[in-house]
Amino acid sequence: MTEVKREVFGQMPQEEGGGMVEKFILKSDSVKVEILSLGCIIAALEMKGRDGECSDVVLGFDTLEGYTRKHPFFGAVVGRVANRIAKGRFAVDGKEYQLFLNNGPNSLHGGARGFDKVLWSPQILPNGVCFFRLSPDGEEGYPGDLKVWVTYTLSGGELAINYRAQTSKITPINLTNHAYFNLAGQGSQDIYDHEISIEADSYLPVDNTKIPTGEVAAVQGTGFDLRQPVKLGKHLQKFHLDGFDHNFCLPQVQARRLAARARHPPTGRAMEVHTTQPGIQFYTGNNLDGSLKGKGAIAYPKHSAFCLETQNWPDAINKPHFPNALLRPGEEYNHTTWLVFNTA
């Protein structure tokens, strides 16, 4: 059985439109998740280690104030288009659209005020919560009224996140959750002792602004071959990598399949990521630099967390040979990701 509770988390500042932010607590016998109505943010996720001790394994803040200031999308649902769009530009049916540039020369995670920075309308379910919002035509430069539902449900050690959307005009869409994990417990110094594996035969090389070059490269014989578990610290050293911030290409079938695994041998905590999405962005917190203080006023240094963001391939809207990024009126965008937490 999953227990669902709601409580007030805080009040949005007036310059952000005011409004009450609620926190929804989903609790099973093995996992407790806290989700905010602001940005559908996973603010905490507690799981047991081998010793039976519970730890919060996602980065974030103790108070609403942390989330209303600038932060790197901790725990949030990002959209209308997650990841990067080159030069913030795309064309649909011959019409050019220009988005806000918030990541060097590119548009990232929905623009200046994406889905992560707005209040969603919640509805409690027997084993979770469903958030809804209407993204109006022209919001952040995107075409069409877009209705979006994000549903979190918890069953035992499995947290399912379902994304649905319908549009009034053809629009690009790519939704994901941007939780930062450290299975040793949030606030631990690094993730070097984690073991990671990703079920991908190919990945997307990127240019110096993190936009895919268009090549779909085989992982075989490279530092991107994560098909067998690697110890992260040793692996980064061996291949002289500064970290990962890359899309790994998954089989393009709309069925649930295993995409990635992460394990922290010292505590026995492990997670699996299953999804219907065609890609997974593996990010090792390269841009964390210790300047942000999170829960318990602990600084979050570089490589102190990892993200496994299930999504479409970055800049797919501008790369015809990448999976389709467009949603049309009368169609429904519908993807699910399952995060399975256990101790091994």
Residues belonging to the active site? 178, 309
Q: Which of 319, 289, 324 is nearest to 303 (CA)?
A: 289
CB atoms within 10 A of CB 200: 22
164 is in an annotated binding site: no
E strand or H helix that includes residue 270: strand 269-275
Copy the structure tokens of residue 100.
């806000």
Rounded Cα distance, 223 and 242, in Å: 11
Rounded Cα distance, 80 and 134, in Å: 11
84 is in an annotated binding site: yes
Buried b / exposed e along 271-289 (16+ C-beta atoms within 10 A): bbbbbbbbbbbbbbbeebe
Give the Cα-Cα-Cα angle 37, 67, 263 (nearest 5 degrees). 85
Answer for the pair 143, 327: CB distance below 8 angstroms, yes or no: no
Rounded Cα distance, 147 and 97, in Å: 20
Instruction: Give backbone dihedrals phi and psi of 296, rounded to 5 degrees, phi first.
Output: 65, 20
269 is in an annotated binding site: no
CB burial class (10 A; 0-12, 13-18, 19+) of residue 8? exposed
178 is in an annotated binding site: yes
Task: Report the first-to-last Cα separation within the chain, whole angstroms.
Answer: 22
Q: Which residues are part of a known binding site?
A: 83-84, 178-180, 245
Known binding-site positions for beta-D-galactose: 83-84, 178-180, 245
